[in-house]
Amino acid sequence: MRFKSPPLAFRLIFAGIVVSCAAFLTARLSHSAVNSTEENKRIWAEEAHLLVRAGLGSEVTLAGVNAGPDAVRASIQSVTGFIRERSGLNLDKSATDRLAKMEQRTLNGECRRITPDELGSLFAGVVMERIQNISDAELEQAADGFANVKIFRPPAQSNQQISSGRALPAAKCTRLPDKIMLRSTGQGIMSKEEFIRQERDLRARLQSPAMLASLVGPVRQEAAKLITARVDGFAEALPGQWGQARREGLTPVQALLVVYSAASDDRLCYSTAQLGQMMKRSETNLKEATGITVSSEGRHAYGSGGYIFSTPLGLALDLRTTSRILDLIEERSAK
C-alpha cells in the first residue's frame, strides 16, 4: 500500500515540524484574494510584516558576514534567549557551542549556507527517524504537550483558520478539556487516545522498508515547500536580516530559528511584552466565556504548557534531535 500523501498524524507530529509553516503569513492573503481588493491584500501583508518585525526583527540580533567570535557568540545568546523567553526551551550548552562554531565557519565563507529546500528535506528525514523509534512513553509525552488550554474559533465556521494570537470575542472562546489540538489554527483536534493510536499505527507501518520508501518523497517535498514559505515570509518582513537567506541560503543559526518556529508553531510575531499582554487578554476571555480561570502568570506563550499554544517542544527539540539536526546541517554545508 502506498500513501498518496502523508497521514494527518505524521504531518503534525513533533510539534508541527512538517505542518503548514506559512499559515499565519499567508492565510489572510489567501482569504483576501477571494473576498477583498488588492488594496486590502496589501494592508494585510503589511500588517503581517509588522508583527514579524515586532518579534523576530526587534528581539533577535544576527551576526553578519565575516563577523568575529564575539559577535557570533552575541548572536547565539540573542537567539537562544529569544527562544527561551517565548517557549521556556533551554538549548543544551554543548549544542550552542557547536552551533557557534558552525555559524563562524559559515559567515567566514568556509562552509556554504543551506537552502530552505535542503532544510525542509533534512527535517522531514529527522522526523521520520524519530517516529520509527519513538517509545510509548514519548508518545504519551507528545500527546500531553498538545493539551492546549483553550481555542478561539468562529461559531459558524469551525474550520476557518484563525491567525495566531488574535483573540476573538469572548463569546467565541471554547475550552476543550478532553481534547488535544495539534495546530494553533484549530486544526488537528482529537482525543489524546486517538492521537496515540494513530501514532502507534504509523510507527508500525514505518518499520516496513516499502512503506518508508513510499513516504519519503512526498513528505520531504511538502516539508521543503513549507520551510521555504516560512523563510520567504521572514525575508519579506526583514529583507536586511533575511533577504540573503532567501537568495543564498540559511546560516546554521537562521536554520535553527526556522526549525524552532515550525516545531513550536510560533510565527515569531510580537514582542515578549506583547505576548504577555495577549496571554492576559486570553485569560480574561476564557473566564468570561467559560467561568474558568486558568492563570497565565509565570507561563510561556509557546512550548510545553504554552498559554497561547502548547506543543511538546522539549521532546521535539531535545538534545538527541538537535544534535542530529546539526549533524545533517554540517554535512550539507561542507564545501
CA distances (Å), origin 217, targets 120, 223, 226, 328: 12, 10, 14, 18
Give the span between the Cα atoms of 244 and 239, in whole angstroms.
8
Residue 177 in domain: yes
Here the contacts of 28-34 (C-beta below 8 Å, separation 24 or greater) are 28/163
Q: Which residue has the higher pLDDT, 118 or 15?
A: 118
Cβ atoms within 10 Å of 32's Cβ, excluding its own: 18
User: Is the pLDDT reported for residue 312 higher than 50?
Assistant: yes
User: Is the pLDDT reported for residue 84 higher than 70?
Assistant: yes
Average pLDDT taken over every residue of the chain: 82
Q: What is the pLDDT of residue 293?
A: 85
Q: What is the pLDDT of residues 245-301, one digit of tens each?
A: 989 999 999 999 999 998 999 999 999 999 999 999 988 988 887 788 889 999 999
Residue 182 in domain: yes
| Buried b / exposed e along 168-202 (16+ C-beta atoms within 10 A) | beeebbbeeeebbbbbbbbbbbbebeebbebbeeb
Per DSSP, the three-state class of 206 is: coil
DSSP-assigned states of every residue in 229-251: HHHHHHHHH-HHHHHHHHHH-B-
Per DSSP, the three-state class of 180 is: strand
145: CB partners within 8 A, 6+ apart: 15, 304, 310, 311, 312, 313, 314, 315
Asked if 162 and 153 touch (Cβ cutoff 8 Å), the reply is: yes
Compute the average pLDDT of residues 102-119. 96
Residue 21 in domain: yes
User: Is the pLDDT reported for residue 96 higher than 60?
Assistant: yes
What are the beta bridge partners of residue 250? 114
Residue 114 in domain: yes
Q: Which residue has the higher pLDDT, 213 or 107?
A: 107
Mean pLDDT lowest among 24-33, 120-129, 262-271? 24-33
Q: Provide the domain limits for residue 230.
A: 8-333
Compute the average pLDDT of residues 84-94. 96
Residue 3 in domain: no
Distance of CA 186 to the CA centre of its chain: 15
Q: What is the pLDDT of residue 303?
A: 95
Residue 72 in domain: yes
With 0.95 as the threshold, say if the pTM is over it: no
Residue 2 in domain: no
Burial class (CB in 10 A: 0-12, 13-18, 19+), 249: buried
Residue 248 in domain: yes
DSSP-assigned states of every residue in 72-91: HHHHHHHHHHHHHHHH----
Per DSSP, the three-state class of 189 is: strand
Burial class (CB in 10 A: 0-12, 13-18, 19+), 7: middle
Number of structural domains, the chain? 1
